[in-house]
Amino acid sequence: MTASTALTPPVVVGGSAEPAAETHRAPATWVRELEDLAPSAPAPRKRVVGTATATDRFIVTGSLLAAASLAWVVCFRLLPWAAVPGYVVTAFVLFLAIVTVATTVTSDGPMIADRLASAVVTGGAALVGVALVSTVVYTFVRGAPALPHLTMFISDMAGVGPRDPLTRGGVAHAIVGSLIQISIAVAVTVPLGFGTAVFMTEVGGGLARIVRTVVEAMTALPSIVAGLFIYTVLIVGLGVPRSGLAAAAALSVMMLPIIARAADVVLRVIPSGLREASLALGASRWRTVWHVVLPTARPGLATALILGVARGIGETSPVLLTSGAASFFVINPVDGVMNSLPLFIYTTVRSGEPLYIERGFAAATILLGLVLVLFVVARRVARPRTGR
Amino acid sequence: MTVLHTEAPPSLAPEPRTLSTATVGADRAFVLGARAIGASVLAITGGIGVFLAIQAVPTLRRYGWSFFTETQWQPEADVLGIASVLVGTVTVALVALAVAFPLALATALYISEYAPLRLKSAFVSMVDLMAAVPSIIYGIWGFFLLQPHASGIARWLSTYLGWLPFFKVDTDPTAALWEQSRFTASAFVAGLAVAMMVLPMSSAVMREVFSQAPLGEKEAALALGSTRWGMIRAVVLPFGKGGIIGGTMLGLGRALGETIAVVLIISPSFDLKFRPLELGTNTVSALIAGRFGEATDAQLSALLTAGLVLFIATLIVNTLAALVVARSRSGAGTDL
């Protein structure tokens, strides 16, 4: 790429501009023809910068093919490594080697390093992409057999045994339980979390600094410890039975620092000029916060909330300790054990019964779908409005 | 005739107005209300920390230092200790980091430097989405899809690199039939699943810092004839060093506390060993998830102490990470 793309100035044909001086009288002033300078000033031509040349593409494609074939020989014919991951790894390592050798023919040291580095970086990113896509696709594929049954969405698991077909029983009770628990948790954490963020940014003072330090520290609290805290205090200490309320409390304890901190970050980047303009116009601090700061921060706050909800709805360890697992509809959050989607997945997958595992995957698909929807909504909300 | 008033006008001398900064009315209610909310959140969150610390006292008084050195967890024999679970926690976290760090770095570099401009925001969304996928999903992914393949990788590693102490697996390598079960339910497989949760977090921090690398210096490197990799090595990586370290440590903090994916995959054991490829390990969070149900008051206190140790470890790691990231963003080198 370095030497081969150096431009050779095109030969400009200079004979076309012959002056017809015989027929016209020469003007008093005239522009001298630039025939002698023409070769050094080539016609402007758009140069191609930074893209791969045909040679580069050939080297990469050829190396890929060579590596794929050689890896097949190595893995499936020579050595006992006949497995897909082994094949992929071998092929990638061979690809790096072949690319190095092939590049050595045309280019020098830095070029080889560049080629190798981009192969490694792209390969790593591709591996991550494959892992993510495989997670989502695998969940959907394993959940597919159970999902088409309508009962999955409208009935519970009461009286459904491990051998009962998928046409009986469903996960509706877990969906309802999850929604109830997360609603309670949101109802608790939003006023407290957003209120704390407003306190930390808009009121300030010594207490605010302490609160900020403690809240930031508590974001490090592992979710299982949050669950154990509620278990010890509410269930063992105060004798509250395992219930949706206890699970919601555990979720709230886990989500509160996360939401407060995220909202704090959002409020802190509101331009202070807006606040000052509002105060200078005579608005009180309260009106400034309510009519200027919070509306400006609304998209950011909504994103913080939605991502917090997505985190909370998928968290298993707090509800594992606090909610118990009912196999039937429970609407009242203080009335005994209640199921939720993550807990349902956890218990069915661990049961080892094939049909239960299928139900578990169906629940996982629903959970993943919920999280995906929340995520897309968060993206939509966070995007700055256009056309204003 | 004009009459000139020679004396000064009566009261033009500046007279300080009385300005009151005291809040009144609705403002006063607002400030007091906000302060009350802040104080209550402080009480809740701080209360958890204080509660954990208080609950740890009887356990630490009873078992003393042996709580940290004892490997077994046998409440019925009055022998309790978290040495083996701590080692297991660190093992899982290290495996997760060893996998997640290079991949997170590659992903961050790819998105910030290599990806086509049109696809960049889509890739950023994908990494964010990866962070939003619940841990139970990664758990069942690791258990059902990854484990069979991962045990093959583990076998390969132990066959060819078994002379390294941490790749050793206690099995007969020349056996006619491969003892696959020895290679499953290990810290290695759990670490791979945890890596999926660590990766997006670290990658997001790294990409953020990389994207702040000074454009002028990047262009200067390219204009001097550097290749893209040369530019990355000379400008982006030195500038983003803090982000790389901080992002990795934030990931470590997440990896230490991860529960469900680990519980689903590992088979609990209390051996004090550092052999991630071999069957059986245990982590603090898995211990809590497994033992809370039948725990008496004293055991609950012991579990809470284990949780406190985990929390403090996570807190230290997170604080260090935040410090490193904050320092890397101090703006050094951004002036042109």
Shortest distance between the Cα of A92 and any Cα of chain B, in A, equals: 15
Give me A353's structure tokens: 């019964």
All residues of chain B having their beta carbon less than 8 Å from the beta carbon of residue A142 are 144
Cβ-based contacts of A123 with chain B (< 8 Å): 106
Tell me the angle at which helices A172-198 and A244-268 cross, rounded to the nearest 10 degrees: 40
- Whether residue B322 and residue A216 make contact (CB cut-off 8 A), yes or no, is yes
Q: What's the rounded Cα separation, in Å, for the pair A372 and B5?
A: 81
Q: Do B257 and A199 touch (CB under 8 A)?
A: no
Rounded CA separation A110/B234 (Å): 13
Q: What was the pLDDT predicted at A6?
A: 42
H/E segment holding residue A354 = helix A354-382
List the helix and strand counts (H, then E) for chain A.
Answer: 14, 0
Smallest CA–CA distance from B285 into chain A, residue: A224
Q: Looking at chain A, which residue has its C-alpha nearest residue B290?
A: A321
- CA distance linking residue A209 with residue A199, whole number of Å: 10
Helices (H), B64-82: 66-69
**Angle value at C-alpha A74, between A71 and A75, nearest 5 degrees:** 85
Q: Which of B19, B23, B42, B207 to mutate to test the interface with A (most CBs of A within 10 A)?
A: B42
Residue A341: closest C-alpha in chain B: B136
Sorting pLDDT into bands at 50, 70 and 90, what band is A35?
A: low
How many angstroms separate the CA atoms of B58 and B5, rounded?
89
DSSP A38-67: GGGSPPP-PPP-SPPPHHHHHHHHHHHHHH
Among B113, B115, B260, whose Cβ lies nearest the Cβ of A317?
B260
The C-alpha of A364 sits at a distance from chain B's nearest C-alpha, in angstroms, of: 7
Q: Are B60 and B67 in contact (CB under 8 A)?
A: yes
- Tell me the shortest Cα–Cα distance from A330 to chain B, in angstroms: 22
Q: Chain A contacts of B47, Cβ < 8 Å?
A: none
Q: What is the pLDDT of residue B194?
A: 92
Contact residues on chain B for A131, CB-CB shorter than 8 A? 196
Mean pLDDT of the region A295-315? 86
Supply the pLDDT for residue A20. 47
Q: Which residues of A touch B317 (CB under 8 A)?
A: 220
Which residues from chain A sit within 8 angstroms of residue B145, using beta carbons? Answer: 134, 138
Which residues of chain B are modeled with pLDDT < 50? 330-336
Shortest CA distance from B125: residue in chain A: A379
Report chain A residues whose CB lies below 8 A from the CB of B285. 222, 224-225, 317
Of the partner residues A196, A224, A310, the one whose CB lies closest to the CB of residue B38:
A196
Give the pLDDT of residue A196. Answer: 93
Q: At residue A187, does pLDDT exceed 90?
A: yes
Of B25, B110, B145, the CB nearest to A122: B110
ipTM: 0.84
Rounded CA-CA distance A338/A177 in Å is 6
Interface probe with B: pick from A121, A130, A374, most Cβ of B within 10 Å = A121
Q: Is A189 a residue whose pLDDT tops 90? A: yes
CA dist B313 and B190 (Å) reads 20
Question: Do the chains contact at B34 and A195, CB–CB below 8 Å?
Answer: yes
Distance from CA of A17 to the nearest CA of B (A): 39
Residues B288, A225: C-beta atoms closer than 8 Å: yes
Instruction: List CB contacts (< 8 A) between B201 and chain A.
Output: none
CA trace torsion A229, A230, A235, A241 (10° rounding):
-160
**What is d(CA A116, CA A95) in angstroms, rounded to the nearest whole number?**
10
Report how far residue A224's alpha carbon sits from residue B317's, in angstroms, rounded to the nearest whole number.
18
Q: Do A135 and B141 touch (CB under 8 A)?
A: yes
| Residue in B with minimal Cα distance to A254 | B45
Rounded Cα–Cα distance for residues B196 and A132 (Å): 8
Query: Is the predicted pLDDT of residue A285 greater than 80, yes or no?
Result: yes
Give the confidence band of A27 by pLDDT, cuts at 50, 70, 90. Answer: low
Tell me which residue of A263, A268, A258 sits closest to A185, measured CA to CA: A258
Q: Supply the pLDDT for residue B336.
A: 35
User: Sign of the CA dihedral B9, B11, B16, B18?
Assistant: negative
Residue of B133, B230, B232 with shortest CB distance to A110: B230
Band of the pLDDT at A185, cuts 50, 70, 90? very high
Contact list, B102 vs chain A (CB under 8 Å): 124
Q: Which of A117, A128, A211 sits opposite B41 (nearest CB)?
A: A211
Contacts of A211 in chain B (CB under 8 A): 38-39, 41-42
Query: Least CB-CB distance to B152: which of A85, A287, A372?
Result: A85
Enumerate the residues of chain B whose CB falls inside 8 A of the CB of residue A116: 229
Query: What is the pTM (predicted TM-score) of this model?
Result: 0.82
- Chain A residue with CA closest to B109: the answer is A121
Which chain B residues have a beta carbon less than 8 Å from that of A316?
Answer: 134-136, 259-260
List CB contacts (< 8 A) between A361 and chain B.
140
Q: In terms of pLDDT, which residue wins out, A387 or B292?
A: B292
Residue of B nearest to A196 (CA): B38
B144 to chain A, minimum CA–CA distance in Å? 9
Confidence band of A30 (pLDDT split at 50, 70, 90) = low
Q: What is the amino acid identity at position A175? A: I
For B48, the closest of A216, A253, A349 (CB atoms) is: A253
A117 to B232: CB separation less than 8 angstroms, yes or no: yes
| Chain A CB contacts of B289 below 8 Å | 224, 317, 320-321
Residue A371 burial (CB count, 10 A): 21
CA-to-CA distance for A340 and A322, rounded, in angstroms?
11
Q: Is B201 exposed, middle or buried (0-12, 13-18, 19+ CB in 10 A)?
A: buried
Shortest distance between the Cα of A291 and any Cα of chain B, in A, equals 14
CB-neighbour burial class of residue A240 (10 A; exposed 0-12, middle 13-18, buried 19+): middle
B41 closest CB neighbour out of A215, A236, A315 = A215
Alpha helical stretches, state H, chain B: 25-63, 66-69, 83-109, 120-132, 135-140, 147-161, 187-211, 215-223, 228-231, 237-239, 241-257, 260-265, 284-291, 297-328
- What is the structure's pLDDT at A238? 87
Rounded to the nearest 5°, which phi and psi values hold at B80? Answer: -130, 140
Nearest residue of B to residue A375 by CA position?
B129
A346, B264: Cβ pair inside 8 Å? yes
CB-neighbour burial class of residue A83 (10 A; exposed 0-12, middle 13-18, buried 19+): middle
pLDDT at A99: 87
Residue B170: what are its φ and ψ, rounded to 5°?
-80, 80
**Total residues found in chain B within this entry:** 336
Residues in B touching A342 (Cβ below 8 Å): 134, 136, 260
Looking at the complex, report in whole angstroms how far the Cα of residue A118 sits from the nearest Cα belonging to chain B.
7
Amino acid letter, residue B95: V
In contact, A192 and A261? CB cutoff 8 Å: no
By 3-state DSSP, what share of chain A in percent is helix, strand and coil, each rounded to 5? 70, 0, 30
Which residue in chain B has the smallest CA separation from A348?
B140
| DSSP for residue B80 | E
| DSSP for residue B281 | B
pLDDT at A233 over 70: yes
Q: A115 with A99: CB under 8 angstroms? A: yes
From CA A118, how far away is CA A122, in angstroms rounded? 6
Is A314 a residue whose pLDDT tops 70?
yes
Number of C-beta neighbours around residue B112 at 10 A: 22
CB–CB contact B42 A210 (8 Å): yes
Is the dihedral angle over the CA atoms A142, A144, A149, A150 positive or is it negative?
Answer: positive
First-to-last alpha carbon distance for chain A, in angstroms, is 46
Q: pLDDT for A323-360, tens place per residue? A: 888 888 888 887 778 888 999 999 888 888 888 888 88
Q: Which of A380, A257, A387, A249 is nearest to A322 (CA)?
A: A249
Q: At what angle do helices A223-230 and B284-291 cross, to 10 degrees?
A: 30
What span, in angstroms and rounded, lies between the C-alpha atoms of B58 and A137? 49
pLDDT tier, A309 (very low <50, low <70, confident <90, very high otherwise): confident
DSSP state of A221: S
